[in-house]
């Protein structure tokens, strides 16, 4: 620009470029994440020599995604989204390298550390949705956020299909068994890091802050702790509803989703190819519900309203628990319908809820509040996934569904109270 201050830049053009770069990065990042998720449990079982360790890998990755969220948000707060996203995917590169080393050394401890760091890629992908809202106009925030969520569909669909070829490539290169898949993740994450550093310019968060000032470029905002940021979110009716929607939707989704393959595999041999294909098809339908219709959900959040979209998501979660929870292990069609509704309900809660969290606090507090929200979301998912197994053992898949439905009650309470307040 010839002498024109940065604060007068074409905001709409920068926003379009930002959403495009973020969407491409999330699509590639999701590819690397799903490759790792597909192989991580198998690698943990192989290294530990038993099925009991298979769930440890997933738990380590989920906890990593949750606990890394706040530090990454703080980096974004001080240095911009570009630095936060590049650091997150860079940590995931380190994690994938440790996983490959753990496979070579048959070290379960090193593997779990690597998978914990690998979870930073999931956290970065989630925080990218917030970056899409930094420069968006208020009436288009839901749509911008949902477009980045939608881009995850590409990686989620392609990733599992590349796990096998990646392993074959790794063996050809002399890497340990199952290590080749994570080698592909290393390459993909490295590309995302370079893309963020080179293409995410100007930084959307820093530019949004400069555009919000009338006295020229502003320095970094005062530091705000996660607790203070969450209190600021909870202090507003919209923030309360948004935070509750994000945490509840994610916990319900994970709690039901991770136990569905176990339920469907009951009474079948682990190597039953037909059963595995049916399970894969049901999970694919679930993923389609999560991501494929997110632009429509974003449109609903902008046009119909955030609260109404959250309410729709809550109803879909309850319906999903009813449909899936009453399905026998062999009822693949009914389970597919239930998990599709589950994914769609999650999408409504995540997109509309994240938008409400973003709008509930001042721009100076947003990155910290968003990171703290993702921390709670990840911890809720980790707890839901951990208790799913015992619940399934005690009362079957029906009990898992009942407990998942009960989790929606806090969301319903907050939603009804907000409606009463609006009516008054």
Convert the pLDDT of each residue in 330-354 to its tens digit.
888 999 999 999 999 999 999 999 9
Domain C-terminal end among 211, 236, 268: 211
pLDDT at 268 over 80: no
Shared-domain flag, residues 185 and 263:
no
Q: Does any domain span residue 220?
A: no
Shared-domain flag, residues 192 and 247:
no
- Determine the Cα–Cα distance for residues 106 and 83; give it in Å rounded to an integer: 34
Shared-domain flag, residues 236 and 109:
no
Shared-domain flag, residues 95 and 200:
yes
Q: Does any domain span residue 138?
A: yes
- Determine the Cα–Cα distance for residues 118 and 43; give it in Å rounded to an integer: 14
Per the omega criterion (within 30 degrees of 0), is the bond before 373 cis? Answer: no
Shared-domain flag, residues 408 and 378:
yes
* Domain containing residue 239: 225-424
The residue among 90 and 286 whose pLDDT is bigger is 90
The mean predicted confidence, pLDDT, of the chain is: 85
The residue among 129 and 274 whose pLDDT is bigger is 129
Domain C-terminal end among 172, 187, 211: 211
Show the tokens assigned to 318.
Answer: 């309850």
Show the tokens assigned to 73.
Answer: 């948000």
CB 41 within 8 A of CB 60: no
Q: Does any domain span residue 250?
A: yes
Instruction: Give the number of other Cβ atoms within 10 Å of residue 29's Cβ.
Output: 30
Please classify residue 269 by burial: count the beta carbons closer than 10 Å to its beta carbon, then call 0-12 exposed, 13-18 middle and 19+ buried. Answer: exposed
Task: State pLDDT tens for residues 8-62.
Answer: 448 888 999 999 999 999 999 988 887 777 677 667 767 776 555 555 777 788 8
Comparing 89-93, 134-138, 310-314, the range with the smallest average pLDDT is 134-138
Shared-domain flag, residues 235 and 355:
yes
CB 5 within 8 A of CB 127: no
- Determine the Cα–Cα distance for residues 105 and 116; give it in Å rounded to an integer: 18
Tracing tokens 């906890």 back to the chain, one arrives at 63
> In 3-state terms, the chain is what percent helix, strand and coil (to 5)?
85, 0, 15
Which CATH number goes with the domain that contains 408?
1.20.1250.20
- Determine the Cα–Cα distance for residues 100 and 171; give it in Å rounded to an integer: 12
How would you classify residue 267: left for phi > 0, otherwise alpha for psi between -120 and 50, otherwise beta?
left
Total domains, the chain? 2
Task: State pLDDT tens for residues 197-215.
Answer: 999 999 999 998 888 775 4
- Determine the Cα–Cα distance for residues 384 and 400; give it in Å rounded to an integer: 10
Shared-domain flag, residues 182 and 86:
yes
Shared-domain flag, residues 92 and 194:
yes
Per the omega criterion (within 30 degrees of 0), is the bond before 202 cis? Answer: yes
pLDDT at 355 over 60: yes
Shared-domain flag, residues 245 and 316:
yes
Domain C-terminal end among 182, 211, 240: 211
- Determine the Cα–Cα distance for residues 143 and 140; give it in Å rounded to an integer: 5
- Determine the Cα–Cα distance for residues 396 and 392; give it in Å rounded to an integer: 4
Shared-domain flag, residues 293 and 412:
yes
């Amino acid at each position: 620009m010839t002498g024109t201050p940065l604060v007068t830049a074409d905001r709409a053009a920068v926003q379009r470029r930002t959403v495009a770069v973020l969407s491409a990065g999330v699509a590639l990042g999701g590819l690397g994440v799903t490759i790792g998720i597909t192989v991580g449990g198998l690698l943990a079982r192989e290294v530990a020599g038993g099925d009991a360790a298979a769930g440890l890998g997933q738990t380590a990755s989920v906890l990593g995604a949750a606990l890394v969220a706040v530090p990454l948000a703080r980096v974004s707060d001080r240095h911009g989204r570009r630095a936060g996203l590049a650091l997150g995917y860079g940590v995931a590169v380190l994690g994938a390298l440790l996983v490959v080393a753990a496979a070579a050394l048959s070290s379960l401890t090193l593997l779990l550390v690597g998978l914990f760091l690998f979870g930073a890629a999931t956290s970065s992908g989630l925080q990218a949705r917030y970056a899409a809202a930094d420069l968006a106009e208020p009436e288009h925030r839901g749509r911008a956020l949902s477009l980045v969520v939608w881009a995850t569909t590409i990686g989620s669909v392609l990733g599992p299909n590349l796990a096998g070829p990646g392993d074959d490539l790794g063996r050809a290169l002399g890497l340990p068994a199952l290590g080749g898949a994570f080698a592909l993740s290393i390459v993909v994450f490295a590309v995302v890091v370079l893309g963020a550093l080179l293409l995410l310019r100007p930084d959307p968060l820093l530019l949004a802050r400069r555009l919000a000032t009338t006295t020229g470029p502003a320095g970094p905002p005062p530091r705000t702790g996660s607790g203070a940021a969450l209190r600021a979110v909870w202090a507003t009716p919209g923030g309360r509803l948004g935070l509750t929607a994000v945490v509840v939707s994610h916990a319900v989704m994970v709690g039901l989703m991770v136990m569905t393959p176990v339920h469907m595999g009951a009474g079948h041999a682990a190597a039953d190819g037909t059963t595995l294909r049916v399970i894969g098809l049901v999970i694919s339908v679930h993923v389609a519900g999560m991501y494929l219709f997110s632009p429509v959900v974003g449109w609903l959040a902008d046009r119909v309203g955030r609260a109404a979209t959250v309410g729709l998501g809550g109803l879909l979660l309850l319906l999903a628990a009813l449909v899936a929870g009453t399905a026998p292990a062999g009822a693949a069609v009914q389970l597919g319908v239930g998990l599709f509704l589950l994914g769609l309900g999650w999408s409504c809660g995540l997109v509309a809820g994240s938008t409400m969290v973003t709008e509930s606090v001042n721009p100076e507090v947003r990155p910290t509040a968003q990171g703290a929200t993702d921390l709670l979301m990840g911890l809720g998912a980790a707890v839901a996934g951990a208790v799913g197994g015992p619940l399934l053992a005690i009362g079957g898949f029906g009990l898992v569904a009942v407990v998942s439905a009960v989790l929606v009650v806090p969301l319903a309470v907050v939603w009804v109270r907000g409606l009463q307040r609006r009516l008054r």
